[in-house]
Structure 1
Amino acid sequence: MQNRRDFITKAGLATAAAGTTALAAPYVRAQSPITWRLQTYAGPALGEHVIKPAIDAFNKAANGEMTIELYYADQLVPTGELFRAMQNGTIDAVQSDDDSMAAPVDVRVFGGYFPFATRYSLDVQALFYKYGLKEIWEEAYGEVDNVTWLSAGSWDPCHFNTKDPIRSLDDLKGKRVFTFPTAGKFLSRFGVVPVTLPWEDVEVAVQTGELDGIAWSGITEDYTVGWADVTKYFLTNNICGAWVGSFFANTERWNAVPPHLQELFRLTMDSSHYYRLHWYWAGEANLRVTGGKMELTTIPDEQWATVEAEAEKFWDEVATTSPRAGRVVQILRDYRETMRKAGPPYRYS
Structure 2
Amino acid sequence: MTEKSTINKRDFLRKSILTGAGAVGATALATPYVKAQAPIKWRLQTYAGPALAEHVCKVGVDAFNKAAHGEMEIEMYTADQLVPQGELFRAVQSGTIDAAQSDDDSAAAPVDVKVFGAYFPLASRYSLDVPALWHWHGLKEVWEEAYAEIPGVTWLSTGAWDPCNFGTTKPIKSVADLKGLRVYTFPTGGQFLSKFGVVPVSLPYEDVEPAIQTGELDGVCWCGITEMHTVGWADVLKYFLTNPLSGAWAGSYFVNTEKWKAVPEHLQQLFMMSIDTSHYYRQHWYWAGEAKYRNEGKLELTSIPESDWKQVEDEASKFWDEVAGQSPRSAKVVEIIKKYNQSMIKAGPPYRYA
TM range (shorter): over 0.9
**Equivalent residue, structure 2, for 1:27:** 35
Task: For 1:280, give the aligned amino acid.
Answer: Y
Hey, what does 2:184 align to over in structure 1? 178
Counterpart of 2:73 in 1: which secondary structure?
strand
Whether 1:99 and 2:109 are equivalent positions in the alignment is no
1:257 counterpart = 2:263: yes
The yes-or-no answer on 1:308 pairing with 2:316 is no
Q: Which residue of 1 aligns with 2:93?
A: 87
Among residues 262, 281, 284, which one is paired with 1:278 in the alignment?
284
Sequence identity percentage: 66
* 2:12 matches 1:12: no
Distance in 2, matches of 1:178 and 1:12, equals 72
TM-score by length of 1: 0.95
The structure 2 residue matched to 1:320, chosen from 325, 333, 337, is: 325
Counterpart amino acid of 1:326? A
What is the alpha-carbon distance in structure 2 between the residues aligned to residue 40 and residue 70 of structure 1? 7
Deviation of 1:19 (Å): 4.6
Structure 2 gaps, min length 5: 1-10
Quote how far apart the aligned CAs of 1:290 are: 1.2
AA of the residue aligned to 2:62: D
**Mapped partners of 1:189, 1:348: distance in 2:** 27
One-letter amino acid of the structure 2 residue matched with residue 184 of structure 1 = G
- Secondary structure in structure 2 of the residue aligned to 1:27: coil
Following superposition, the deviation at residue 279 of structure 1 comes to: 0.2
> Cα offset for 1:27?
2.2
Rounded to whole Å, the distance in 1 between the matches of 2:300 and 2:179 is 20
Name the CA distance, whole Å, in 1 between partners of 2:291 and 2:136.
Answer: 27
1:45 and 1:18 mapped to 2: Cα distance? Answer: 48
Shift of 1:53: 1.4
Equivalent residues in 2 for 1:52-201 (5 A)? 52-201=58-207
SS of residue paired to 1:100 = coil
Matched letter for residue 335 of structure 2: Q
For residues 178-228 of structure 1, give each alpha carbon's deviation from its aligned partner in whole angstroms, at most 9, with x where no partner exists.
000000000000010000000010000000010001000000000000000
TM-score by length of 2: 0.94
Aligned to 1:211: 217
What is the one-letter code of the residue matched to 1:108? Answer: K
Q: Which amino acid aligns with 2:142?
A: I
Output the amino acid matched with 1:306: Q
Aligned length: 343
Separation of aligned partners in 2, 1:277 and 1:12: 57
2:4 corresponding residue in structure 1: none
Superposed displacement of residue 5, structure 1: 9.3
Instruction: Give 2:57's aligned amino acid.
Output: I
Name the SS of the counterpart of 1:246 in structure 2. strand
Q: Deviation at 1:18?
A: 3.9
Looking at structure 2, the residues matched to 298 and 194 of structure 1 have their Cα atoms a distance apart, in angstroms, of 21
Q: Which amino acid aligns with 2:48?
A: A
C-alpha deviation, 1:17, in angstroms: 2.7
Aligned partner of 2:302: which letter?
T
Q: 1:236 to 1:260 in 2, by over 3 A?
A: same
Which residue identity does 1:200 align to in structure 2? E
Q: Does 1:336 align with 2:346?
A: no
Cα RMSD, aligned residues only: 1.6
* 1:242-253 equivalences in 2 (<5 Å): 242-253=248-259
| Distance in 2 (alpha carbons) for counterparts of 1:10 and 1:34 | 37
Which residue of structure 1 aligns with residue 8 of structure 2?
Answer: none
Q: Please list the CA deviations of residues 223-261 of structure 1 after superposition, one character each: whole Å capped at 9, or x if unmatched.
A: 000000000000000010000000000000000000000
Task: Give the aligned partner of residue 267 of structure 1.
Answer: 273
Larger radius of gyration: 2
Q: 1: distance between equivalents of 2:326 and 2:316?
A: 16
Separation (CA, whole Å) in 1 of partners of 2:336 and 2:30: 58
How far did 1:176 drift?
0.1
CA deviations on 1:293-337 (whole Å, 9 max, x unpaired) are 110000010000110000000000000100000000000011101
**CA shift at 1:14, angstroms?**
2.0
Structure 1: 5+ residue stretches without partners: none
Q: CA deviation at 1:9?
A: 5.9
Report the alpha carbon displacement of residue 47 of structure 1 after superposing the two structures with TM.
0.3
Q: Which string of whole-angstrom CA distances, capped at 9 and with x for unpartnered residues, describes residues 20-56 of structure 1?
A: 67x65x5232xx1111110000000000100011111
- Cα distance in 1 between the residues matched to 2:261 and 2:26: 37
